[in-house]
Amino acid sequence: MKKIFLICFTLLAGVLVFSACHSEAMDENVSEAKGNLNLSSLKTDVDLDIETVYVGSRADETVDVSNFLVAIYDSKSQKVEQWKYSEMPEVVSLTVGTYSIEVLSAEAPSNGFDAPFYKGTATCEIKENELVDVPAITCKLANMLFSVVYDEEFQDKMGNDVVTTISVGENSLDIPYAETRKAYLIAPEGETAALNVTLKGTIDGETIDYSKRIDQVRVGVHNIIKYEFDPVSDGSMGDGTLNVAINVDSSMNESDEVVGTNPGEEPGIDDFPTEGGEDPGEGGGEQNVPSIIGSDFNGNPFDIENDVLDIKGASTLKVEINAENGIAHLYVEIQSETLDVTEVGLMNSFDLAYPGDLEEGLNGLGFPTGANVIGQKHTTFDISTFTGLLVSFEGNHNFVIRVVDQNDLEETKVLKLRVVK
């Protein structure tokens, strides 16, 4: 019986060994199937057209991509190959399967000045004995870009000690008043992030220490931090106080200019102005720029540019928005000394065109949203209902209104309210 068991066990072990060897041989045959990736077909574009309300000209910069990194990852996200852009081979042989090609301007982003981090990806399928071209890859800004703009009326009143500190998560950077370079912060995961801004220093002889948290600041765009210092009610500049307002503009228009290289040629920069370009004589001119008008304050029009409206009770208050090219976005930021709008289910800043989860609450306040904004040539920002909520919060309240039309023309105005008792 023992012999029979021993013979059976030996036969079984032999079968298992044979099966394992056969399976291994099959796996080797599968893994040995190769295809070729044509890297010379890779065209990498660097999208430099990061527009803001303060930047209206086409991109005139170029980016040298010769030191960019090109990495290939397999379907398990394991890095297979990596080269400098200028040193990569024309063709690489890869095992059959799905791969992603990632192009980076550096190994990792960093915090600092003039330190943009660009990133682009594409996927491709390697087939046996075939030469596969790489899809075009557009590298876009993948960190957070900031500039600081101070109120023009106070340019000669700024002390040398004035500094702005920007913080996103654990990343922060000090931007002195005299700094003219662009500031970059490492971006967290996601399309938006919370930004903390601190202003310290001497302005018009007064020591300022002001902080503000701004939610939903966009990643990968040019964020303009603009300070406004409001004069006191009698129009003078100095009775010992400054009303500081911080407005962050974040916008990214579709690129009408890219800068790229063809890896089949010598490394260099090629412009492509023939597509998506804009003839200076075409498109919407200044006459088609959107307008924001104070149309009704208790039955009378008002000057939204200069008037500070005193709110003593529930009031009729309407702002007319006009955009001959159709509205694409209608951004509103609420800046208040005493009211925390998050306590009533709102956010400090939102887009009435795409309100998301805020839509029901905004509609309840009488604000236009969604289809009542997108594509409209005229709409009314009616905050009459909201004034009834403000009367309990004495102090200054600003509504920064920014309209962007379908042609990416835009206008910004600040509706200034003061609750008095």
Q: What is the pLDDT of residues 50-61, one digit of tens each?
A: 432 222 222 335
Residue 314: the pLDDT is 87
**pLDDT surpassing 50 at residue 140:** yes
CA gap 344, 321 in Å, rounded: 26
Domain 34-54+62-141 identical in fold to domain 291-419: yes
Residues 299, 300, 305, CA angle at the centre, nearest 5°?
A: 135
User: What per-residue string of b and e applies to 340-360 under the rule 16 or more CB within 10 Å gives b?
Assistant: ebeeeebbbbbbbbbbeebee
- Partner residues linked to 90 by β-bridges: none
Task: Report the percentage of the chain scoring pLDDT > 90.
Answer: 27
Q: So where are the chain's domains? A: 34-54+62-141, 143-232+240-249, 291-419
Cα dist. 414→235, 245, 290 in Å? Answer: 17, 10, 15
List the CATH code of the domain at 34-54+62-141: 2.60.40
The pTM assigned to this predicted structure is: 0.49
List the CATH code of the domain at 291-419: 2.60.40
Q: What is the pLDDT of residues 54-113, one digit of tens each?
A: 222 223 356 778 889 999 999 888 999 999 988 889 888 999 999 999 999 999 999 999
145: three-class secondary structure by DSSP:
strand
